[in-house]
Amino acid sequence: MNSIISVENLGKKYRIGTRAPYKTLRETLMNALASPARFFSRNSSLLTPNTSNLKPDTDTFWALKDVSFEVKEGEVVGIIGRNGAGKTTLLKILSRITEPTEGEVRISGRVASLLEVGTGFHPELTGRENIYLNGAILGMSRQEIKSKFDEIVAFAEIEKFIDTPVKRYSSGMYVRLAFAVAAHLEPEILVVDEVLAVGDAQFQKKCLGKMEDVAKGGRTVLFVSHNMLAVKNLCSRAIVLRQGQIAFSGNVSEAVDSYLHDKSHDTGEVFWDNTETAPGNNQVRLKAIRIVSNGVITAKPPLNKDIEVQIDYWNLEENSSRLLSIHVFNSMGVLLITTANLKSTSLTYDSYPYDKYPVGLFRTTCIIPKLLLNNGMHYIKLWINNGMASNIMALDNVISFDAQESEEMRTEFTGEWLGAIRPLLAWNTKQLE
């Protein structure tokens, strides 16, 4: 089977705190006219290094470094990794949105990408016009697009709004149409990032079903997701990225295990010393997140003790509102717990979500009660919001832990129980006659 994607020694370097200048439309078109065969080739090696704007600087980091792999025609490959591992950067390079600093990518075929909500849409154009525009970009004739048009609109469930400018669409309408266009216009390669999280559960299920149909049709799919169950069900193999490099490539189950058992989590604590490079932005930066049991930091908390999740962060904005929440998942990607430091979702009252934060270093602690979780690996997604208004930071698999039975619990029916959780419930038996 031939390789449809070939990546060799790929690297992408960014300068911290700066942006590389964007090319204007005029510059892009002039490049296309200067070398039309190279620009429009379906077997393109257009993505070669662009280092003209980079200067030696100590304030740089490699989002990707020495990344090499091949994808065969018809493969469905999952790309997984923590936030900042380089997943989106890789997909942007493969989608010809970003140029690499070094290395080379060769792609044989048309690529349809769904990296962000509305990627490739013109906000002033209607849904109908954007469908035809995207099809034309993919090299399809008007007749080919027309033959798929009704199917796209029906899938996206936006019949009433098809002639409305997409700038007036809700985020849900946007992502439904974007996915429908990408999946139905029959590209040889479909690239899907974690944008499905924008849609509701029913639409996510619908999208996964469509991607299965696309894969069965012999087309190639690159799928980025933090839903490990979806990756296991959909993908034939997976690549794990860690700090911009390939940590594992191969069997999906082994890849998921590699992702969840990140060695940086082995101590039960992940921390950042530098506010410039820590996750976050000019509003909030994360300093540390840790798992604590009985006063001790551990990656293997016992099930019969409370599990503390401690979150340390710098608030960098005076008089701001901050709301923290965590999602706890098991190793199959099943969401077990959603909780936040709000009065309605907490056993204790935390005044800070309702007060204005000063600038400073803060610690927020959530306690998961003992005898609730099941045995095995769990991982946490952290959200920090600007009060109830907007999201500041969302970090998937920011830390993981392996919940284990203690010696006192190893008396009968030891080991992992069926079900996502194993709470200690009240039982009683009495004789009635």
DSSP string, 212-272: HHHHHTT-EEEEE-S-HHHHHHH-SEEEEEETTEEEEEE-HHHHHHHHHT-GGGTTSEEE-
Weakly modelled stretches of the chain, pLDDT under 70: 1, 16-58, 115-120, 194-201, 262-265, 408-416
pLDDT at position 26 = 46
In this structure, the number of other CB atoms found within 10 A of the CB of residue 285 comes to: 21
Q: What is the DSSP string of 260-308?
A: HT-GGGTTSEEE---TTTSSB-SSEEEEEEEEEETTEE-SS-BTTS-EE
Q: Establish how many alpha carbons lie within 13 A of residue 190's alpha carbon, considering only the half-sphere containing its beta carbon.
A: 30
Partners of residue 280 on adjacent β-strands:
285
Give the separation between CA 260 and CA 397, rounded to whole angstroms. 8
* 152 neighbors 180 (Cβ within 8 angstroms): yes
Phi-psi category of 45—alpha, beta or left, where left has phi over 0 and alpha has psi -120 to 50? alpha
pLDDT at position 29 = 45
Residues in the chain: 433
Name the pTM for this structure.
Answer: 0.67
* List of long-range contacts for 173-177, beta carbons under 8 Å, 24+ apart: 174/117, 174/118, 174/121, 174/198, 175/117, 175/118, 175/199, 176/203, 177/121, 177/127, 177/130, 177/131, 177/152
Name all domains of the chain by residue range, CATH numbers in brackets: 3-260 (3.40.50.300), 264-407 (2.70.50.60)
Burial class of residue 172 in the structure, from the number of CB atoms within 10 Å of its CB (0-12 exposed, 13-18 middle, 19+ buried): middle
Q: Are strands 284-293 and 245-250 parallel, antiparallel or unpaired?
A: unpaired
Partners of residue 402 on adjacent β-strands:
377
Give the separation between CA 294 and CA 428, rounded to whole angstroms. 30
Q: What are phi and psi of 399, to 5 degrees?
A: -160, 150
Give the residue from 138, 137, 167, 162 showing the smallest Cα distance to 151. 162
For the record, the structure tokens of 133 come out as 């525009």
Give the separation between CA 357 and CA 284, rounded to whole angstroms. 11
The amino acid that residue 28 corresponds to is: T
Give how far Cα 272 sits from Cα of 17, 160, 217, 313, 355, Å.
Answer: 17, 49, 45, 10, 26
Give the residue from 191, 190, 239 showing the smallest Cα distance to 69. 239
pLDDT at position 118 = 54
The amino acid that residue 96 corresponds to is: R
Give the separation between CA 317 and CA 338, rounded to whole angstroms. 26
Residue 245 CA to its chain's centroid (Å): 16
pLDDT at position 97 = 82
Residue 219 CA to its chain's centroid (Å): 22
Helix (H) or strand (E) holding 182, with range, is: helix 171-184
Task: Look at residue 30 and give its three-state secondary structure.
Answer: helix
* 149 neighbors 131 (Cβ within 8 angstroms): yes
Q: How far apart are the first and last CA of the chain?
A: 73
